Amino acid sequence: MKINFIGGGNMARAIIGGLKQNGFAMSDITVLEPDAQKRTELAQDLNVQVTDTYAEFRNTDVIVLAVKPQQLKEVCQQLNPALTSQLVVSIAAGVRSKDMSTWLNHYQGIVRVMPNTPAQIQAGVSALYAMPQVTQTQREQATTILAAVGKTLWLDDEAKMDAVTAISGSGPAYVFYFIEALQAAGVALGLKDEEANMLALQTFAGASLLATQSNTDVKTLRAQVTSKGGTTEQGILTLESANIKHIVAQAAKAAADKSVTLGDLLGQ
């Protein structure tokens, strides 16, 4: 499988790095990057081929669009003449496949992906949606590429991408926000900054690892920590009285609604 990336930013680097760790031949990857300094760094750091033109894009299997959403329409228009039967994979947030198809002269071989930032350490999760004309082989190619940076989840309805954006796309920020709050609480209770930071970070890391590796659901895991009449119960009761679950649901709804709005705007 030959893969061409358009854009050599953080997410493209993460995917290429994951593929490299999985033994993928770097000689089969080409990155189109307009910035000369970035091209030099990509070639040196990852041993990939680099270019600043679309000339080689006819002779590839998969084209990964790794540019900012606002740049995607222009990129699609430039890519148009090179398309024959390649799979086009977009990791540009918010842009719907039907709009990309329109910009690509109604090309149908498109997979839209929503990754998240833990992909930078191969611990991400990516939701994928394929247009109906995408073949099973092409779906497997897309899975291979995104599995290099974490788990993959195929969606049967592109409308679910807005929910994915709210949960896993924006989700890391919610986690970091809660870590910040727990660190600040530790300092307020008399811990040093470094002590509070270490305890909060390791607690989140350990609890997340336990939840992913355990056969027990998270509700039960939480109950197992919450002894009747104990300290944890008192903390949980405070969270419940503040209706934190409802607030989290509201935050996710706001993020999903914004995703819909941005999709409408970017598709114009």
pLDDT digits (tens, 9 = 90+) for 124-133: 999 999 999 9
Which of 55-69, 174-188, 213-227, 239-253 shows the lowest mean pLDDT across its residues? 55-69
Considering only the C-alpha atoms of the chain, give the largest distance between any 2 of them, rounded to a whole number of Å: 69
What number is the average pLDDT over the span 229-255?
A: 97
Q: Which residue has the tokens 């819909």?
A: 260
Which of 56-60, 146-150, 161-165, 247-251 shows the lowest mean pLDDT across its residues? 56-60
Residues ≥6 apart with Cβ < 8 Å to 60? 2, 3, 4, 30, 86
**Cα gap 187→220, rounded to integer Å:** 30
C-alpha distances (whole Å) from 124 to each of 24, 42, 135, 211 are 19, 22, 25, 16
User: Residue 268's pLDDT band (boundaries 50, 70, 90)?
Assistant: confident
pLDDT above 80: residue 47: yes
Q: Are 165 and 93 in contact (CB under 8 A)?
A: yes
DSSP 252: H
Confidence (pLDDT) at 58: 86
pLDDT digits (tens, 9 = 90+) for 126-179: 999 999 999 999 999 999 999 999 999 999 999 999 999 999 999 999 999 999
**Cα gap 252→197, rounded to integer Å:** 26
Confidence (pLDDT) at 56: 77
Q: Return the H-helix or E-strand segment holding 114.
A: strand 110-114
Pairing of strands 124-130, 110-114: antiparallel
Sign of CA dihedral 204, 205, 207, 208: positive
Q: Are 233 and 227 in contact (CB under 8 A)?
A: yes
Alpha carbon 158 to its chain centroid, in Å, reads: 15
pLDDT above 90: residue 55: no
Confidence (pLDDT) at 247: 97
Backbone φ and ψ for 49, nearest 5 degrees, come out as: -80, 145
Q: Are 248 and 174 in contact (CB under 8 A)?
A: yes
